[in-house]
Every structure is written in structure tokens, then in C-alpha cells.
Structure 1
Amino acid sequence: MALRLPVGTEVDVDLRGRVDAPVESAAYFAVSEVLTNAVKHAVADRIWIDVHHIREPDGMLRITVTDNGKGGAVTGAGSGLSGVERRLGTFDGVLAVSSPAGGPTMVTMEIPCELS
């Protein structure tokens, strides 16, 4: 996904296995939506994606997408981020957005899971 973006993107993945297919699918589409927003609305020229698994205390896939755009991203009815929040909620996951005016925007997604 990152290779097709029109914005310089760095990806750091540290996973010692795979998550279950439904979690993997939810994570993929959540990241896709966040990247689309960054390209379409943020006027960013750089994006960083960090994906890793935290084993303690209960196992958590944590994905952070940061861009150096103009900021101002919000969750709320009708926004793409509210859709991401619903998708993650299916797995008791959470979405956190930090996007002050002027940027940067940091979107953190966490999904409880174990690696195979």
C-alpha cells in the first residue's frame, strides 16, 4: 500500500508472527482509510507507519500513522475516521487521534490480539 502512495512514506514493521485473518483485514482497511485521509486532506509530503505487537500484558497490535500535514483531523459522524473507529471496535480495538491545527497528525490504532 505504501509503495503506491504519491507521498514519501516510511514503514517500520516489527511482528514476530501473524495476527488472525479477521484482525489482519480490519487493520489493513483501517490503515488504508487513514492513509487516504492523509493524502487527500492533510497536504502532507511525508508519512510514517509503525506496526508492532505488544505482548504484555494481554497482547495488542499497535499501528501508528503519522503525517506532517496541516492537521485538523477529527473523528465524528460521517468522517472516515469514525468508520475506522467502528471497524476497530468490532475487535474491542481503539482509535486515538492527535491532530492539532498546523499538524502533525498522529493516528494510533490498537487491536487486542495474539500472534500465531
Structure 2
Amino acid sequence: MAEVLTNVTKHSGARRAWVRLSFENGLLSMVVGDDGRGGATPDAGTGLAGVRRRLAAFDGTVTVTSPPGGPTVVTMELPCELSSRRTSPSSGTG
């Protein structure tokens, strides 16, 4: 997600950006959007392509919607399970 936010600040010309995280049915979804100029493509450089490659290693996906003129929305999804709840604090103090 940091790579996508870096792209927003470097390339989009956006005045606003937003981030939404959610977890449902074993799928972590991370969505980053901005009101910039659009035109982002995963194949045009190393940034989004690198995000796609790294998530694919864990069966994750990246979808980019970025028409010329904007806005841009990047959706990253990663299958995962939440870790089990701890029954006691790790410090053992209470």
C-alpha cells in the first residue's frame, strides 16, 4: 500500500487521496483512491507492476481503474486468515 500512496504523491497531481481497509470471508481488501489526473497503468512502470508481482506471490491481486482525467482507484486483495485470539497477554503481567 505504501508504494501506491507514493505513486499518488509523485505522479497523480491529486489534491485528495483516501485509503479503505476491510476484511471479510478470508480476504483482506486495501483500496487507495485519489482525485488526480488518472492514466495510471500497472504495465507503464515498476511501481504498480511490483505491487502486482509481490501480491501474486501470495495469491493476491491488484486492479487499477484510472481513466485519463481521473480518478484513480487501486484495489489490492489478499487472501488471509486472522490469527487466533490470545488467551493471555504476551507480557504475562495480567
For residues 51 and 69 of structure 1, what CA distance do their matches in structure 2 show?
A: 21
Corresponding position: 1:112 with 2:82? no
For residues 41 and 60 of structure 2, what CA distance do their matches in structure 1 show?
A: 18
Secondary structure at the counterpart of residue 81 of structure 1 = helix
| Deviations, residues 23-75 of structure 1 (Å, cap 9, x unaligned) | xxxxxxxx1100000110000010110001012xxx10000000000000001
Structure 1 stretches lacking a partner, 5+ long:
1-30
Map 1:64-103; keep pairs closer than 5 Å. 64-76=31-43, 78-103=45-70
Letter in 2 for 1:101: P
For residues 70 and 78 of structure 1, what CA distance do their matches in structure 2 show?
A: 17
Secondary structure at the counterpart of residue 33 of structure 1 = helix
Aligned-pair identity (%):
55
State the match for 1:19 in structure 2: none
Letter in 2 for 1:81: L
- Asked which structure has the greater CA Rg, the reply is 2
For residues 110 and 100 of structure 1, what CA distance do their matches in structure 2 show?
A: 21
1 or 2, which has the higher helix percentage?
1
73-82 or 92-101: bigger deviation = 73-82
Query: What's the TM-score once normalised by structure 1's chain length?
Result: 0.69
State the match for 1:50 in structure 2: 20
Give 4+ residue runs of structure 1 displaced > 6 Å after superposition: none
CA-atom RMSD in angstroms: 0.9
Match of 2:2 among 8, 11, 32: 32
For residues 62 and 113 of structure 1, what CA distance do their matches in structure 2 show?
A: 10
Corresponding residue pairs, total: 83
Structure 2 stretches lacking a partner, 5+ long:
84-94
